Amino acid sequence: MRLSVVIPVFNGAAVLGITMDSIASQVFEHEFEIIVVDGASTDTTVNLAKSYMKKIKNLKIISRPDNSMYEAVADGLQLCSGEIHTYINAGDFFFPNAFVNVDKSFRRDKDIRWITGKKCREINNKIVPGINPTFNSIVIKAGMYGPVLPYIQQEGTFWHQTLTKTLDLKKLSSLRLAGDYYMWCSFAESCDLVSNDTFLACFVVCEGQLSSDTKGYFDEMNTFTAELSPAILLPFLYVMVTTTVAAIGLYAGRATNQLGCPPKPNF
């Protein structure tokens, strides 16, 4: 399957390289395209992206002013020609064989439309695994992942191009912080999120990230998530119980140093 990866970036010359290197190092027998959407950076971001033209065959670079990261994501998604879509921010990275594992997941089960890998973050050059919750579409649409349950990690979430067509890209462009959760709510209207039991991508924590404004993120989520109703009770309880079991397993693994978390790749 052909993969399309959108990379929104603004003044990211210092961090874009690791993202591009993680893509250039993928061993993947099928075609993939990379769409870098730059918000008219004033540093050397665009030149850095252009330096990967020989390493990455299908690389598109767009540079123009935008109003938000999600406007850049929306612009990039409109240009995607692959069957499977994702986006990743400059500075975050894919693990080796990520594209192969994604391709296998979608080929193995034709009913799958949306997958996410095992969660992890890089903090001070150390990769730390996260709790992998059970996913339920009703619970997603009610806005429970993040404020109450472990969040859905955007890095390493891939979806079929038919789901991109369900998005209101104008609405997505208008969001500043929680555009990813808007996408998850839209996808959850038509299909379930499926866990992929591999590490696909890593979120790199650094100062000044938009994601550090959790209150603003949750406030923006509340503008489009569904109102709570009795219908959520049983799904929510099931997710809570299974996620608690996953958390116990995670902390037990930390105690015994048996987490199976991969080291940071050397691209």
Tell which wins on pLDDT, 70 or 29.
Answer: 70
If you search the block for the tokens 């309880």, which residue do you land on? 237
- Residue 78: inside a domain, yes or no? yes
Q: What is the pLDDT, as a whole number, of residue 246?
A: 75
Evaluate if residue 208 carries a pLDDT over 80.
no
Evaluate if residue 250 carries a pLDDT over 70.
no
pLDDT band at 172 (very low <50, low <70, confident <90, very high): very high
Evaluate if residue 82 carries a pLDDT over 80.
yes
Q: At what angle do helices 69-79 and 179-188 cross, to 10 degrees?
A: 50
CB 217 within 8 A of CB 146: yes
Q: Helix H segments across the chain?
A: 16-24, 45-50, 69-79, 98-108, 137-141, 161-164, 169-174, 179-188, 214-221, 233-256
Strands 201-204, 93-94: parallel, antiparallel or unpaired by DSSP?
antiparallel
Q: What is the mean pLDDT of residues 26-48?
A: 96
Strands 114-116, 194-195: parallel, antiparallel or unpaired by DSSP?
parallel
Q: What is the pLDDT, as a whole number, of residue 256?
A: 42
- Residue 36: inside a domain, yes or no? yes
- Residue 138: inside a domain, yes or no? yes
If you search the block for the tokens 């109450």, which residue do you land on? 148
Domains held by the chain: number = 1
> Model confidence over 85-125: pLDDT tens digits?
999 999 999 999 999 999 999 999 999 999 999 999 999 88
Q: How far apart are CA 67 and CA 65, in angstroms?
A: 7
Tell me the pLDDT of the chain averaged across its residues. Answer: 92
Q: CA torsion, points 189, 190, 192, 193, in degrees to nearest 10?
A: -80
- Residue 261: inside a domain, yes or no? no
Q: What is the pLDDT, as a whole number, of residue 255?
A: 44
Phi-psi region of 224 (alpha: psi -120 to 50; beta: other; left: phi over 0): alpha
3-state secondary structure of 94: strand
Q: How far apart are CA 84 and CA 70, in angstroms?
A: 19
Name which of 16, 15, 20 is nearest 5 in CA terms. Answer: 20
> Model confidence over 42-70: pLDDT tens digits?
999 999 999 999 999 999 999 999 999 99
Lowest-confidence region among 72-81, 116-125, 224-233, 252-261: 252-261
Which structural domain, as residue segments, surrounds residue 118?
A: 3-256
CATH number assigned to the domain comprising residue 175: 3.90.550.10
Residue type at position 150 = P
- Residue 50: inside a domain, yes or no? yes
pLDDT band at 260 (very low <50, low <70, confident <90, very high): low
- Residue 35: inside a domain, yes or no? yes
> Model confidence over 122-160: pLDDT tens digits?
998 889 888 888 899 999 999 999 999 999 999 999 999
- Residue 158: inside a domain, yes or no? yes
- Report yes or no on whether pTM surpasses 0.75: yes
Evaluate if residue 253 carries a pLDDT over 60.
no
CB 69 within 8 A of CB 41: no
- Residue 262: inside a domain, yes or no? no
Evaluate if residue 238 carries a pLDDT over 50.
yes
Residue type at position 92 = D
Q: How far apart are CA 75 and CA 114, in angstroms?
A: 21
